[in-house]
Structures are given as structure tokens and as C-alpha cells.
């Protein structure tokens, strides 16, 4: 979005430089797909904050900053001598955003966390697979990638920008404490609301779903059908949508079966219905079904693979992917921002992620003593 971001790495580099994806799965500190994607448009310097030289450079850098963001373990920055109070003395009006697994208060504030533990503890894993045959052999799963960290990062961006707005209005800085766990819990506010009103959590047991005629995912909010080249996701949940959907399928004879005439009936007889739908969908391609459905204003989408996504015409027209050349990793397409600002077009200055210590000379040597 245009901020001048200086990323400080320890001399050996950010840990994410050692996390994949890598070409041919060969680790290389300048070729981590994760690091490259997360650090576009930043400048990078290396500092050892445990040495007097590093600490002094950090102090001078902080003096030039509006915002300092850290996700070191709770209290670590303070122990290095850079707690909020110290930084504020050095730089009045500074904003310090600290991201930690559980925040700086609460009974579990000293617990450690990873993406896996946060995804599960926050109940986001509980519903991800949908109901399963045997909950005792099929554990809940986390989503792929680093969703917990991204969710916490987005919350921290939001909070930091709120603090920046406050600073611009009042001159006051602030210390913002962000909890990764709460950020993930915040993804489940609909469920928390149901709990606050005494509703039980959704079951993970397919057997219970069947016995109690609770509509499964297929009935309630749509489902996934097999096609001759993958899958298509559909959700003709309203009666009018269902009527139009039958038209897309060429009005099959079974549609008049009284089990499927009402929405409630379709939800109750989900499995029989899904089998009939699948018999039809297997004869067609996912993009063909999606297009024919959308032509009739029915919510349905191809289940796109990553290769589909990179070839997607809609995203190409919107210039979503940004091709950026990196001196070591080469030319790659990165997902861009999901928003377009009419007055501040992006990318302002698409620059690849920094090499380790790339801007040491430019930034550190220019610091006032």
C-alpha cells in the first residue's frame, strides 16, 4: 500500500527463508516462495540486536519510524531493551504492534503456538473436513499454508492502521497487543454467537447428522459434485434457484419425486439426491457446468486447481497476479492485493523481496549518529 517498510532480519536471516516452497524442494535462503511472497516491496537489513552495534542501529532506525511491528516471543523485545516505554522515550508518538500467540494477558499467555495448534484450538479445524464417518479415526484437520499467521497478520495490519489514524488525528502513539489465538477465534464469531445463545456446536459425526436429519453441508449451504475433469461446487438452495438448476440439467424425470420437491425434503434426502446429481455431473466438465449454472443465476463454481487459477481469464483481466523478477529466484507471478483503490493505483513500486542484507549499506550507513 505504499508504506516504506524496513524489514530487520537477524544475520542468519528470517526463519521463513528456510521454509518452502522451493524449486525442486531444494532449500535456498533466497528462493523460499513463502519468504518471497511475504516480503515484496520491503527493504531488508540485517542486525544482531544482542550486540551494542546492532542495538544502536535499531534505536536510530526506530527514531525514524511511525510503526514498529514485532512477533518475537512475549517479552523478548522488552528483554532486549526495546519495550514500548523505552521506544516511546526515544521516539514520542511511536506505535508498537506486538503479535504474540496468546497476547500479553490471560491464563495461557505463556503458551507456545504454531499454525497447527492455533487452527485446532480456535475450532477452525473442527468443521473443515465436514462431518466424518468415524470421528475417532479421522481427526479434525487444519487448512493448508499458514492461515493462522496470515489471519493474525491481517488483524495486526488493521490494528496498526487504526493506531496510525489515531496518531494522525491526535499525535498520540500507542502500544497495540495482538493475539494470534484471538485473531483465529475471531474467524468463528458466528459460532461464538450461537454458543452465547446456548446452541450446541455442530457435530463432526456423519452418523449423528443422518440420525437427526440435520442437513449436511450438501443440503444447508451447497456441496461438491464430481465432473469428468474434477469437481464443481453448487448451491441452488432457494426454491427458485432449484427450479432453474433443474433446467440446467435438462429437467430430469426424478425431479418430480416428492422427496425432492421442497427445500426441506432436499435437505432431508441429501444423500439420495447427491447421488442423482452426481450421475448427471460426471458427464460434463466443471467449467461447462459452472458457466451454464451461472448463466441461470445459480451460485456454482468450478473447483479450481492452482493451475486453473493461474490460467483464469477473469483474474488475468483484473491483473490480479503480479509478475516480479527476483535476482536469484527469477520471474514469478505473485498474488496481488484483492482490492483496487481508484486514487492510489497498485502496485506503487513492485520490487521483489530483499536479498539477505540487501539494503544494509543504503539504510544503515545513512543513519545519523
Partner 1 sequence: MINRLPLEGTRVLDLSWIIAGPTSTRCLAIMGADVIKLGSARRPDPSTGSPPFQVYNQSKSYAALNISRPEGLEMAMSLVALSDIVVENFAAGVVERLGLGYEAIREVNPNVIMISSSGTGHSGPDKDYVAYGSLLQHYTGWNTVSGYPGQEPIKGGLWADPWVGMELTMVAVAALNHRVVTGEGQYIDFSMAEALSASIPEAILHYQMNGAVKEPMGNDDDWNSPHGMYHCKGSDSWVAIAVTTNQEWKALCCAIGKPELASKPGFDNAEVRRDHRDEIDAAISQWTSQHDDYDAAEILQNAGIPAGPSLDVSRVYNDPHLRSSGYLYQVKTNDGEIRDLPSLPWRFEGQSGPRIAAAPDLAQDNDRIYRELLGLSESEIAQLVEDQIIY
Comparison of 55 and 272: residue with beta carbon closer to partner 1: 272
Q: How far is the CB of 364 from partner 1 (least distance, A)?
A: 28
331: helix, coil or strand? strand
Name the grid cell of 54: 546492532
Cis (ω within 30 of 0) for the bond into 21?
yes
φ and ψ at residue 117, rounded to 5 degrees: -70, -35
Residue 149, judged by CB atoms within 10 A of its CB (0-12, 13-18, 19+), counts as: buried
Comparison of 60 and 127: residue with beta carbon closer to partner 1: 127
Residues 241 and 300 sit within 8 Å (Cβ to Cβ): no
Comparison of 57 and 125: residue with beta carbon closer to partner 1: 125
Distance CA 242, CA 264 (A): 12
Name the grid cell of 53: 552495534
Q: How far is the CB of 62 from partner 1 (least distance, A)?
A: 18
173: helix, coil or strand? coil
Q: How far is the CB of 217 from partner 1 (least distance, A)?
A: 4
Give 289's strand partners: none
Comparison of 47 and 178: residue with beta carbon closer to partner 1: 178
Q: How far is the CB of 7 from partner 1 (least distance, A)?
A: 17
| Long-range Cβ contact pairs of 244-249 (< 8 A, separation 24 or more) | 244/296, 244/297, 244/298, 245/293, 245/296, 245/298, 247/296, 248/289, 248/292, 248/293, 248/296, 248/298, 249/277, 249/280
Comparison of 83 and 257: residue with beta carbon closer to partner 1: 83
Name the grid cell of 198: 446456548
Distance CA 61, CA 48 (A): 14
Q: How far is the CB of 181 from partner 1 (least distance, A)?
A: 7
Q: How far is the CB of 50 from partner 1 (least distance, A)?
A: 19
Comparison of 20 and 347: residue with beta carbon closer to partner 1: 20
Establish how many alpha carbons lie within 13 A of residue 260's alpha carbon, considering only the half-sphere containing its beta carbon. Answer: 20
Comparison of 45 and 298: residue with beta carbon closer to partner 1: 298
Comparison of 91 and 179: residue with beta carbon closer to partner 1: 179
Q: How far is the CB of 57 from partner 1 (least distance, A)?
A: 26
Distance CA 266, CA 258 (A): 9
Amino acid at each position: 500500500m505504499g508504506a516504506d517498510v524496513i524489514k530487520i532480519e537477524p544475520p542468519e536471516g528470517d526463519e521463513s527463508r528456510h521454509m518452502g516452497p522451493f524449486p525442486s524442494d531444494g532449500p535456498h535462503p533466497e528462493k523460499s516462495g513463502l519468504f518471497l511472497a511475504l516480503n515484496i516491496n520491503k527493504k531488508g537489513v540485517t542486525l544482531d540486536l544482542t550486540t551494542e552495534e546492532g542495538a544502536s542501529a535499531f534505536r536510530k532506525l526506530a527514531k525514524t519510524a511511525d510503526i514498529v511491528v514485532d512477533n518475537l516471543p512475549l517479552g523478548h523485545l522488552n528483554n532486549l531493551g526495546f519495550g514500548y516505554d523505552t521506544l516511546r522515550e526515544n521516539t514520542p508518538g511511536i506505535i508498537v504492534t506486538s503479535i504474540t500467540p496468546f497476547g500479553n494477558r490471560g491464563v495461557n499467555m505463556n503458551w507456545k503456538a504454531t499454525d497447527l495448534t492455533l487452527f485446532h484450538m480456535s475450532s477452525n479445524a473442527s468443521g473443515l473436513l465436514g462431518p466424518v464417518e468415524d470421528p475417532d479415526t479421522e481427526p479434525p484437520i487444519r487448512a493448508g499454508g499458514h492461515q493462522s499467521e496470515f489471519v493474525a497478520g491481517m488483524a495486526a495490519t488493521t490494528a496498526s492502521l487504526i493506531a496510525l489514524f489515531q496518531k494522525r488525528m491526535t499525535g498520540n502513539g500507542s502500544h497495540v497487543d495482538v493475539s494470534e489465538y484471538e485473531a483465529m477465534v475471531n474467524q468463528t464469531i458466528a459460532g461464538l454467537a450461537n454458543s452465547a445463545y446456548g446452541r450446541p456446536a455442530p457435530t463432526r459425526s456423519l452418523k449423528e447428522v443422518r440420525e437427526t436429519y440435520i442437513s449436511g453441508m450438501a443440503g444447508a449451504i451447497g456441496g461438491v459434485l464430481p465432473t469428468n475433469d474434477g469437481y464443481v461446487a453448487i448451491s441452488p438452495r432457494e426454491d427458485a434457484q432449484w427450479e432453474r438448476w433443474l433446467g440446467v440439467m435438462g429437467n430430469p424425470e426424478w425431479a418430480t419425486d416428492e422427496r425432492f420437491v421442497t427445500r426441506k425434503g432436499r435437505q432431508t434426502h441429501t444423500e439420495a439426491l447427491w447421488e442423482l446429481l452426481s450421475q448427471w455431473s460426471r458427464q460434463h466438465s466443471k467449467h461447462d457446468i459452472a458457466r451454464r449454472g451461472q448463466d441461470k443465476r445459480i451460485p456454482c463454481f468450478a473447483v479450481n486447481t492452482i493451475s486453473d487459477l493461474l490460467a483464469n481469464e477473469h483474474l488475468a483481466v483484473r491483473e490480479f497476479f503480479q509478475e516480479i523478477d527476483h535476482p536469484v529466484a527469477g520471474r514469478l507471478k505473485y498474488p496481488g492485493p484483492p482490492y483496487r483503490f481508484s486514487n492510489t493505483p497498485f502496485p506503487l513500486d513492485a520490487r521483489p523481496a530483499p536479498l539477505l542484507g540487501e539494503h544494509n549499506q543504503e539504510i544503515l550507513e545513512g543513519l545519523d549518529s
